[in-house]
Amino acid sequence: QVDGDRLWQSLMEMAKIGATEKGGVCRLALTDLDKAGRDLFVSWCKEAGCSVSVDKMGNIFARRPGRNEDMPPVMTGSHLDTQPTGGKFDGVYGVLAGLEVIRSLNDHRIETEAPVEVAVWTNEEGSRFAPAMVASGVFAGAFDLEYGLSRADLDGKTMGEELARIGYAGDREVGGRPIKAFFEAHIEQGPILEAEEKTIGVVTGAQGQRWYEITLTGQEAHAGPTPMKVRKDALVGAARIVGEVNRIGLAHQPYACATVGLMQVSPNSRNTIPGKVFFAVDFRHPDADTLAQMDSELRAFCDKVTAEIGVEMAFEQIWYSPPVAFDPDCVNAVRKGAKLAGFGHMDIVSGAGHDACYINRVAPTGMIFVPCENGISHNEVENATSADIAAGCNVLLHAVLERANA
């Protein structure tokens, strides 16, 4: 049994770092606030007797030794970075649940066969630096190190520069070592567990994602004396594509999601026809073929509309994260943990991407979901109950123990 109160208190303590007026958290990857959150986590891990190492992508590993130090570790963890309108639980829950597992093992003086590690993965959100899960991706060999370090934010600052600036450019090689199993606890970020009144989501996999960057270039001109017919209005083109993205999402129900979350208009002046619009598209579907169909529809529409409006287009799919199926043994360990503790549970497919999706490529992996209020995440009102938070952590403890002693 973990100490649910202690876990909750640690979550609330961490939520002060980057706390927003509306009760959320804004702690963007590799900002000073991210550094403060990392420092706090590291200090807690050291208090819990862990040794701490940092790799070249800034991933942090806190290690509790096992009886058999030659065994690969059982690893758990998630991320400390948030969205601009982030909440108190997305990511940080999985990190502090891992810490609570270690604290509980200490309390009960339980030795494990394999070492146990808690990981903090850098820039999971993909908000400041695209794509998401980039550092767990490097760890798992999905990206090379150079790619990871060169990801830049909208101001042109790279992850490499910012890691060095905040003192988290570690010297450990990224990945390339065996892991016995990886578990990630996370809030669901969707409405299903709440609707089905289940405490635990036994995550069997995650849907696929495609991310795009599109730049339309038309011609700046005066909004007053420039006749409608000679205009090359990049925003008129972008608006039509936003509408099409939404149509594609609706056309592939029940599972598809399709979103334009980011848009920058230039020169962004009320009485100048927009000469340039940069925006990003996020497509999701659990089935790779449907996701490919959504891709074709988007490309066809963009070609058509840009020709009609007479604007130039730069179109790039910047990220593809294929649908993921987690390891059956790890999934079973989660299901067994939920059963043993008597928690209502159900199998579920993750709508969000998670570091676990990449780690699954190099280690047997499973995930544990707990409900969040009204299914809302990436929003400052994101919320979860302390009972559910503790329940997920108890299931994590069970799964970690089972794999560490197997």
Ligand X SMILES: NC(=O)NCCC(=O)O
Bridge partners (DSSP) of residue 203 are: 348, 367
CA distances from 37 to 17, 88, 225, 240, 359 (A): 6, 12, 53, 41, 23
Cβ within 8 Å of residue 328, ≥6 positions away: none
DSSP state for residue 19 in the 8-state scheme: B
Is 272 among the residues that bind a copy of itself (CB under 8 A)? yes
79 marked among binding-site residues: yes
Task: Choose among ligand X, a copy of itself, none what residue 178 binds, the Cβ cut-off being 5 to 8 Å by kind.
Answer: none
Shortest Cβ distance from residue 212 to a copy of itself (Å)?
Answer: 9
Is residue 328 part of the contact set for a copy of itself (CB under 8 A)?
no
Interface pick for ligand X out of 24, 37, 58, 353 (rule CB under 6 A) = 353
For residues 53 to 92, the per-residue mask of contacts with ligand X, x marking binding by CB under 6 A and - elsewhere, is: -------------------------------------x--
Least distance (Å) between residue 234 CB and a copy of itself = 11
Distance CA 357, CA 374 (A): 25
> What is the DSSP code (8-state) at residue 121?
-
| Residue 125 annotated in ligand binding | yes
Residue 223: CB minimum distance to ligand X, A? 6
Q: Which of 262, 288, 313, 346 binds a copy of itself (CB under 8 A)?
A: 262
Task: Among 49, 141, 261, 344, indicate the residue that binds a copy of itself (CB under 8 A).
Answer: 261
Compute the least distance from the CB of residue 108 to ligand X, in Å: 31
Return the residue of 117, 184, 295, 380 that touches a copy of itself, per CB under 8 A: 380
Our finding on whether 348 is near ligand X (CB under 6 A) is: no
Residues 136-195 that bind a copy of itself (CB under 8 A): 188-191
Residues in 148-207 at the binding interface with ligand X, rule: CB under 6 A: 189
> How many other CB atoms are found less than 10 A from the CB of residue 108?
10
Of 131 and 337, the one with the shorter C-beta distance to a copy of itself is 131
Residue of the chain from 71, 152, 263, 346 that contacts a copy of itself (CB under 8 A): 263
| CA atoms of 373 and 395, how far apart (whole Å) | 20
Residue 313 burial (CB count, 10 A) = 17
- What are the tokens at 75? 């690893």
DSSP letters of 330-380? HHHHHHHHHHHHT--EEEEEESS--HHHHHTTTS-EEEEEE--GGG--SST
* Shortest Å distance, C-beta 241 to a copy of itself: 8
Residue whose structure tokens are 């490919």: 292
Q: Which stretch binds ligand X (CB under 6 A): 23-31, 54-62, 306-314, 350-358?
A: 350-358
Cβ neighbors of 342 (< 8 A, separation 6 or more) are none
Footprint (CB under 8 A) of a copy of itself, residues 85-124: 85
Q: What is the DSSP letter of 67?
A: S
Does 352 contact ligand X by CB under 6 A? yes
User: How far apart are the C-alpha atoms of 266 and 272, rounded to whole Å?
Assistant: 9
Under the criterion CB under 6 A, does residue 126 sit at the interface with ligand X? yes
If one asks whether residue 375 binds a copy of itself (CB under 8 A), the answer comes out as yes
How many Å apart are CA 192 and CA 377, to the nearest integer?
A: 13
Using CA atoms, how far apart are residues 400 and 360, in angstroms rounded to an integer? Answer: 16
345 is in an annotated binding site: no
Q: Fill in the amino acid letter for 64.
A: R
* Binding status of residue 354 toward ligand X by CB under 6 A: yes
Q: Which does 55 bind (CB under 5 to 8 A by kind): ligand X, a copy of itself, none?
A: none
Q: Least distance in Å: CB of 312 to ligand X?
A: 25
DSSP 220-278: -EETTTS-GGG---HHHHHHHHHHHHHHHHHHTTTT-EEEEEEEEEES--TTEE--EEE
On whether 222 is known to bind a ligand per the annotation, the reply is no
Out of 97, 118, 132, 235, point to the residue binding ligand X (CB under 6 A): 132
Q: Is 347 annotated as a binding residue?
A: no
Interface of this chain with a copy of itself, residues 280 to 309, rule: CB under 8 A: 280, 282, 284
Residues contributing to the site for ligand X (CB under 6 A): 90, 124-126, 132, 189, 222-224, 271, 352-354
Q: Which residues are known binding-site members for Zn(2+)?
A: 79, 90, 125, 186, 378
